[in-house]
Structure 1
Amino acid sequence: MKVGAKAFHSICKLSQKYVADRSGNFATMTVLLAVPLIAAAGLAIDVTDALVVRSELYSAADAAAVGAIATSSPAVAAAMAMTSDGTVTVGQDDARKLFFGQASADLQAMPINVNIAVTRAANVVSSSVNFSATVPTTLMQILGKTSIPVSGSATAQYQTASFIDFYMLLDNTPSMGVGATADDITMLQTHTSDTCAFACHNLDTTNNYYNLAKSLKINMRIDVVRQATQSLTDTATTNRQTPDQYRMAVYTFGTKAEAAGLTAVSALSSDMTQVKASTSTVDLMTTPSQNYNSDQDTSFDTVLTQIKPIIGTGGGGTTSADRAKVLFFVTDGVGDSAKPNTCTKPTTGGRCQEPLDISFCQPLKNQNIKIAILYTTYLPLPQNAWYNTWIAPFQSQIGTDLQNCASPGLYFEVSPTQGINDAMNALFLKVIRTPRLTG
């Protein structure tokens, strides 16, 4: 029994006792005064009970509206198979089960009216859940109010064919020459006199660590990123419903350190075969010599600023003329550039080694651009004195800042023991398959 019901029965018994007492007017006055007090208390208790019920029903409605059109739901599968717009009956049945599955035992015993609609219109599957119920009162019954009505609704949409432009920004700076796996790192360290884990691509000698890695068939991080990006074009092709549904452009930080900056590898195109072929040229940035320009070759600030006007303002994605825009950034998250005055970490001679400065992310988001980030974990290198001095102090902050830069839910960290290819595909699918509440 609710607390309000117990209080109601106690007060009623007390009132009956005072009414039966004819010894004086005090009892009569007390009962008369008790009526408005009971009404006020009853209103507070019963309204609170009704609000709790309403809140729980809203939660059940939200879960039903979103769950009925989730990526793997029967409704989405049925909608994609439909040849015309209309009602998705299986979605209505699924939503009803989800609604009552979320409701507590107390609610399930209460009479609840639920109206559910799941429909497909063009490339959008919509769900709406409307509910109404009457919550029994306790103390307010003394005034003849036996119930309080509550109602509400929740809606969600799933776009089966969102039109999206993906701008792939691939970090190909020297730090991406690290071995792709722990075994690759160990092998390179074993075969270098200074136990270096980076396959530096300096062109002043053919006896460089890049060529050594190639001769030993060591996979570098950039190799895996290139292959994963090419694989992503296949994923886009498999999942699109119209030839121009997804378009993709590919950029790097430059082919050589002397001209570091945003560099186009493939122009924006829906021809995934062409994008895949162009991406085959992505490789580690070259440097004229070891320690060229004090290794200041990774300016996140520069490339994020340069790519902003290229991407432009994102749209809703509902038509090919109103396309959503996504910056898909793959990086190890450590910047290295000349920033003597604005670096977020201590510098050496103006050389700034720091995690991503997230202040450069917001201008992109202000243009309705979603940011998806795949963090290829920057590996600790405890045998390296440079790492211990300059990177180790902020190692734990690298992933946190990248996650803060990413749009909600569009951040993924993948270590060398995991598959970058699988992670990139999973993040891509998450972007294109996210239902959302619309009211």
Structure 2
Amino acid sequence: MLDKLLGDRSGNFGIMSALLLVPLIAAAGLAIDLTDALEARNQLQGAADAAALGAVAEKSIGTAEAMKMMTDGAITPAVQDAEKIFAAQIASATGYTLTDHAATVTKVNNQLTAMFTYTATVPTTLLKVIGKNEFTVTGQATAVFQTETYRDFYLLLDNTPSMGVGATTADINTMIAHTSDKCAFACHIVNNGVEDENSYYNLAKSLGVTIRIDVVANATAALMDTAVSVRRSDNQYRMAVYTFGQKAEDTKLLEISPLTDNLVDAKSKASLIDLMSIPYQGYNKDQQTDFDLAMKNIGDKMGTPGTGLTPSDPEKIVFFVSDGVGDSKKPTTCTKMLTGTRCQEPIDTRACQPLKDKGYKIAVLYTTYLPLPTNSWYNSWIKPFQSEISTRMQNCASSGYFFEVSPSQGISDAMNTLFLKIVSTPRLSG
């Protein structure tokens, strides 16, 4: 009887099918349920990525808060921001149950790191036949953002008489055509507090001639607007403004605006920058442009240079704007031919090096010294080294911090270009 049963082949297909049905269902279920789990994970990962990136985005609450922090640590508003972004991203998602999630956002030096983790369960369908009721999916998203460096800018603006030259070739030609000695310089003569009505300074104004210091003053004021528009917090950039002095009888650094993060106030003060006055033509043999002394004195104003990683440890940058020709009493170390003890030379880079050695950076905007072929003084003393001025000014600057601009190119645009080059925007990575 048993032999007959075992030898009967008529029901084998049904038995074999029944035996194979469970693993076939399990295999099909595995493919289907894994696809569902992967889809759920992709949704959650996308939401986590958005949360981490959003928490430290350039214009985020977290970045703004981090820029104000004097020490390292967690940034609670950024955590809350990440949570909101994640919730918004998964609001309409289905097919899984979120069991856990967490966000952390921390600041270390000038780097922000956001991390978002999640755990969810995805119910199975066909795999339930083998007792597998759910899959667990987990993931993590990390975003890193480096905030801008904190910087203090000390604007050192050459306002000595040579910056009274016409701002453009057309302005120069107008002055030459209206002066008996064909002078392109609008000399600002003030004697005992009384303005000389016949000075070329007043002539320039009556002719509608723009002189170079006017352009520098306007450009400096405009620079404050640029700084405000790109800074990420009120204390990120501070600025101080200095010139070489109000009058030739007292040549020293003149503080136009003290170091401040109130750039609106600094702008107002910068717009009033004026040409240094002289009591009469040829006063003190025209020795009013002492770059060596100016560089030393600005260094004394700046304090200890920092890393720029925190508001309390900012980088210190000299933002130097000049036509690059020194004219001072310098009897022993002049790099060009003397007239008695008077030294006329391209800037002596030995005055710049001590600042760089101490850790300060020097940004140089060279306002091209325009040839004045009708002027005998220029032909005798400046023309012989005209070709060296730009090179010396570039050598004074820190690497990458030099810009030369001719009047026709626009000093305001040049100042903004150099400033933006210094404060180039960092990149977000995740």
The TM-score bracket by the shorter chain reads 0.5 to 0.7
Matching of residue 80 in structure 1 with residue 58 in structure 2: yes
Matched with 2:393 is 402
Match of 1:323 among 308, 314, 335: 314
Matching of residue 208 in structure 1 with residue 195 in structure 2: no
Matched with 1:306 is 297
Match of 1:199 among 186, 191, 194: 186
CA 1:394–1:207: 2 relative to 1, 3 Å: same
* 291-300 vs 277-286, which moves further: 277-286
Match of 1:184 among 130, 152, 171: 171
Letter matched to residue 297 of structure 2: Q
Matched ranges for 1:26-37 at <5 A: none
Structure 1 contact 377–415 (Cα < 8 Å) conserved: yes
Q: What TM-score does the superposition give when structure 2 sets the normalisation length? A: 0.66
Match of 2:341 among 350, 356, 360: 350
The unaligned stretches of length 5 or more in structure 1 are 1-74, 87-118, 127-156
Matching of residue 261 in structure 1 with residue 252 in structure 2: yes
Matched ranges for 1:168-179 at <5 A: 168-179=155-166
Rg: which structure is higher?
2
Q: Provide, for residues 214-273 of structure 1, a one-character-per-residue CA deviation record: whole Å limited to 9, x for no partner.
A: 111110000000000000111111111111111000000000000012111110000011
Rounded to whole Å, the distance in 2 between the matches of 1:380 and 1:196 is: 12
Between the two proteins, what is the percent identity of the paired residues? 56
Letter matched to residue 248 of structure 1: M
Letter matched to residue 369 of structure 1: Y
Structure 1 contact 300–335 (Cα < 8 Å) conserved: yes
Tell me which stretches of 4 or more aligned residues in structure 1 moved more than 4 Å.
75-78, 81-86, 119-123
User: Secondary structure of 2:407's match?
Assistant: coil
Letter matched to residue 179 of structure 2: T
Matched with 1:371 is 362
Rounded to whole Å, the distance in 2 between the matches of 1:200 and 1:175 is: 8
Structure 2 contact 56–145 (Cα < 8 Å) conserved: no
Structure 1 contact 124–161 (Cα < 8 Å) conserved: no
User: Secondary structure of 1:417's match?
Assistant: helix
Matched with 1:382 is 373
Matched with 2:237 is 246
Q: CA RMSD in A?
A: 2.3
Q: What TM-score does the superposition give when structure 1 sets the normalisation length? A: 0.65
Rounded to whole Å, the distance in 2 between the matches of 1:244 and 1:84 is: 16
Q: How many residue pairs are counted as aligned between the two chains?
A: 300
CA 1:200–1:121: 2 relative to 1, 3 Å: same
Structure 2 contact 226–416 (Cα < 8 Å) conserved: yes
Structure 1 contact 296–336 (Cα < 8 Å) conserved: yes
Matched with 2:36 is none
Rounded to whole Å, the distance in 2 between the matches of 1:285 and 1:314 is: 30
| Displacement of 1:278 | 1.4
